[in-house]
Amino acid sequence: MKNDRFLRALRREPVDCTPVWIMRQAGRYLPEYRATRARAGSFLALAKTPELACEVTLQPLERFELDAAILFSDILTVPDAMGLGLYFVEGEGPKFERPVRSAADVARLAVPDIGAELGYVTDAVSLIRRELDGRVPLIGFSGSPWTLACYMVEGGSSDNFARIKAMMYDDPATLHRLLDVVTQAVIAYLAAQREAGAQALQIFDTWGGVLAPAMYREFSLRYLTRIAQELPRGEGGNRTPLILFGKGNAPHLEALADSGAEGIGVDWSVTLEEARRRTGGRVALQGNLDPAVLFASPERIRSEAAAVLQSYGPGPGHVFNLGHGITPDVKPDHLKALVDAVHELSRTAP
């Protein structure tokens, strides 16, 4: 491995400077991504063709000195493989042809055969590893059971989560059966990505923050913890690190630090100083610049990056990232200003 600062930071070992990668680093803000997507015909065709998924995974690494690559795919490949029929409507985001609405719908679900249904993902992972040739580590990922269940029950994006919350309050046993089968699928999916060559794994719990605290513990945290405990990841220095990213997870940092995961990804609603104090050095922290800072001038981006580094403070265990994904309207030069600032400002004397 030519550059292992990302993996070292997750192990809370000393680094020459703070590693940085960006959620959604391969995406629509890059003209070369838009060109490859146009060639593929659609986002799903792009994600389902390993050669093209590999190409867009590597694009941001050509422009920026990023310290990790992330597999180009989507969290909704898992429910798609479970037979829900994923499709995208321009301007409306993801949708399912067959959402899960009843106890009978849940009873019909099974853990997908990863090789048969998601082989395009593991093929992309192997290909990307080969093309990276040790340049930086490759991150694999999955949605969290709760976040995947949100899309499966709502049938797409939602602003109030009316259907899944009605199920949660009126028929919690059915929702737990759904979360159980999705958890088994996520474990099999992440294990397969690891087998194919993913060197770190991240779970996106995009919607955990919409839950009241007791509900978060019962319907999101419980399943995140189960994954952290049950996912086979190896032992000692070779253990594949797991990062739990959650939008709005700040109220639960103490519990997340006890889940068994190596890293916790946080949004910008909490300072890293507070997050570090509350997690007591038990985990590495990833984050947490407000993605909207990238709309400001390069000078302001640099000073805000300095503020995040300063908030984390000295010592190992920080992976710099945004507090959520980069948005499609960011200028690529602004991301370059951020990545370079993180490395320059955090470099320690040799």
Given the residues 29, 33, 151, 223, the one annotated as active site = 151
Q: Residue 109: phi, psi to the nearest 5?
A: -75, 145
Task: Rule CB under 6 A: say whether 206 interacts with ligand CP3.
Answer: yes
- Per-residue binding string, ligand CP3, 313-342, x by CB under 6 A, is -----------xx-----------------
Given the residues 4, 8, 12, 74, the one annotated as active site = 74
Assigned token pair, 175: 């929702």
Nearest CA to 23 among 144, 151, 141, 162?
141
From residue 265, how far is each of 54, 234, 275, 325, 345 by CA, in Å? 25, 22, 10, 12, 21
Among 70-78, 172-180, 235-243, 254-262, which window interacts with ligand CP3 (CB under 6 A)?
A: 70-78
CA-based radius of gyration for the chain:
19
- Would the annotation count 25 as a binding residue? yes
Please, are residues 123 and 192 in contact by the beta-carbon 8 Å criterion?
Answer: no
- Would the annotation count 194 as a binding residue? no
Order of all β-strands in the sheet with 138-143: 69-70, 138-143, 200-205, 242-246, 263-265, 284-289, 318-322
Q: Which residue lies nearer to ligand CP3 by CB, 12 or 261?
A: 261
- Would the annotation count 225 as a binding residue? no
Task: Rule CB under 6 A: say whether 148 interacts with ligand CP3.
Answer: no
Distance CA 144, CA 222 (A): 11
Give the contacts of 213 (CB within 8 A, at least 6 positions apart).
251, 252
- Per-residue binding string, ligand CP3, 278-307, x by CB under 6 A, is ------------------------------
340 tagged catalytic: no
Distance CA 211, CA 192 (A): 30
- Would the annotation count 151 as a binding residue? yes
Using Cβ positions, the residue closest to ligand CP3 within the complex turns out to be 206
Q: Which residue lies nearer to ligand CP3 by CB, 12 or 53?
A: 53
- Per-residue binding string, ligand CP3, 18-57, x by CB under 6 A, is -----xxxxxx--------x-----x--------------
300 tagged catalytic: no
Q: Which residue lies nearer to ligand CP3 by CB, 112 or 323?
A: 323
Footprint of ligand CP3 (CB under 6 A):
23-28, 37, 43, 70, 72, 74-76, 93-94, 141, 157, 204, 206, 247, 324-325
